Structure 1
């Protein structure tokens, strides 16, 4: 399987939140069957000059529920996250797939 990620970042007009949309594309010829160890399907991090300053999963608890998702060839699936009350600056966002059997990540530059 070949998975490629893309990450869209949008900052609210008032700068009070940043929304992330991490899309995982199956560019292979077979179905990508993803296995997740819990209810978290994707994680998001914000980097300031390479140093992590925020992570979506920090301080959150996810149901200990094994999950699965299938992405047919040529299809994609999108996972969302939100950074409430962000600080001002220039940052790099990283979206990461949390599947135990596949890896995929994407990065995007943004400013608040």
Structure 2
């Protein structure tokens, strides 16, 4: 696999909102073209064990449009999402690339204080 992903969380106060930054890097030696069928290029999910707590795309509508992005070897691109009403707890965040022919996923632990 030539794509590697990392997921970071940020926020001045995680009780107000949690920002997710998913970075996808082409770690291979050839160009990779990411093709998307809508404006949602990455999905973000929060899990509490086996239970899904939050999904970025729930309740949202995305423009249906074909687009692509080419990553040269060593290039990276980032996708962001915000959980605007976090619930206190310990979670696992999962970011997944939604490209048609390429896969990439990254996970991170998220702690939202009471």
TM-score by length of 2: 0.94
Moved over 6 A (4+): none
Question: In structure 1, what is the Cα distance between the partners aligned to 2:71 and 2:11?
Answer: 28
Which residues of structure 2 form unaligned runs of 5+? none
Deviations 1:53-94 (A, max 9, x none): 100001100000111011110110000000011100000000
Alignment of 1:1-112 (within 5 A): 2-13=2-13, 15-112=15-112
Question: In structure 1, what is the Cα distance between the partners aligned to 2:14 and 2:101?
Answer: 39
41 and 10 in structure 1: CA distance in 2 versus 1, 3 angstrom threshold? same
Q: Equivalent residue of 2:53, what SS?
A: strand
Instruction: Compute the RMSD of aligned alpha carbons.
Output: 1.1
Q: Equivalent residue of 2:29, what SS?
A: coil
Aligned residues: 112
Which residues of structure 1 form unaligned runs of 5+? none
Question: In structure 2, what is the Cα distance between the partners aligned to 1:100 and 1:25?
Answer: 17
Q: CA deviation at 1:12?
A: 3.3
Q: Equivalent residue of 2:24, what SS?
A: strand
